[in-house]
């Protein structure tokens, strides 16, 4: 599965562009998850880096919930239990951060 589509790229606010919006009122554009684990990444902002990778900012629900930066290449490199990689929730309804936090 392709994690980052052109539609998502077009919908992503640039890094730092939503700083004036309260965190809970920011939009979550997409959701990535580990199908064999408990980690989930909710993407709020993102942009392409100079090396062609993508850097995201969002809510990471792993060992604990925290906001942070993560890269597409990091997500694509993960192969957990049964050799499965990170997936994108294709049925994820875009909502505000406060609805998931």
Residue 71 tokens read as: 């890269």
- Contact assessment for residue 47 and residue 15, using Cβ atoms and an 8 Å cutoff: yes
Residue 1 is assigned to a structural domain of this protein: no
Residue 48 is assigned to a structural domain of this protein: yes
Range of weakest confidence among 23-27, 35-39, 47-51, 77-81: 77-81
Residue 76 is assigned to a structural domain of this protein: yes
Residue 92 tokens read as: 């994820």
Residue 72 is assigned to a structural domain of this protein: yes
Residue 73 is assigned to a structural domain of this protein: yes
Q: Does pLDDT of 45 surpass 80?
A: yes
Percent of all residues in the chain with a pLDDT value above 70, rounded to a whole number: 99
Work out how many domains the chain is built from and give that number: 1
Residue 26 is assigned to a structural domain of this protein: yes
Residue 41 is assigned to a structural domain of this protein: yes
| pTM, entire model | 0.94
77 lies in which domain range?
A: 6-15+22-96
């Amino acid at each position: 599965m392709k994690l980052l589509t052109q539609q998502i790229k077009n919908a992503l606010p640039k890094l730092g562009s939503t700083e004036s919006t309260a965190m809970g009122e920011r939009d979550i554009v997409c959701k990535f998850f580990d199908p064999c684990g408990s980690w989930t990444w909710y993407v709020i902002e993102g942009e392409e880096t100079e090396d062609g990778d993508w850097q995201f900012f969002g809510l990471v629900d792993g060992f604990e919930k925290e906001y942070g930066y993560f890269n597409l290449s990091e997500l694509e490199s993960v192969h957990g239990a049964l050799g499965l990689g990170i997936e994108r929730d294709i049925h994820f309804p875009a909502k505000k951060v406060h609805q998931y936090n």
